[in-house]
Amino acid sequence: MLLTIIFSLMMMLGLFLMLWGGVGFIQDKRFFSSAPKEVQNVVPDKMPERFKGQHTVGWVMIVLSLLLMIGALVLGAWDGIANNYDFWQFFLRFVIMLVGLKAYDIGFFDWVLLCNAGFGFFPHYYPETKPVLGHYLFGYNWKTHLSHIVFGIPICALLAWLCTLI
What pLDDT was estimated at residue 48? 85
Instruction: Based on DSSP, count helices (H) and strands (E) in the chain, helices before strands.
Output: 6, 0
pLDDT of the residue at 33: 79
pLDDT along the chain (166 residues), means of 10: 95 95 89 81 85 94 97 97 97 97 89 74 83 78 88 97 94
Q: Residue 9's pLDDT is what?
A: 97
Angle, CA 113 vertex, CA 144 and CA 115 arms, to 5°: 75
Its pTM surpasses 0.85: yes
- Domain residue limits, the chain: 2-165
Query: Would you state the pLDDT for residue 117?
Result: 64
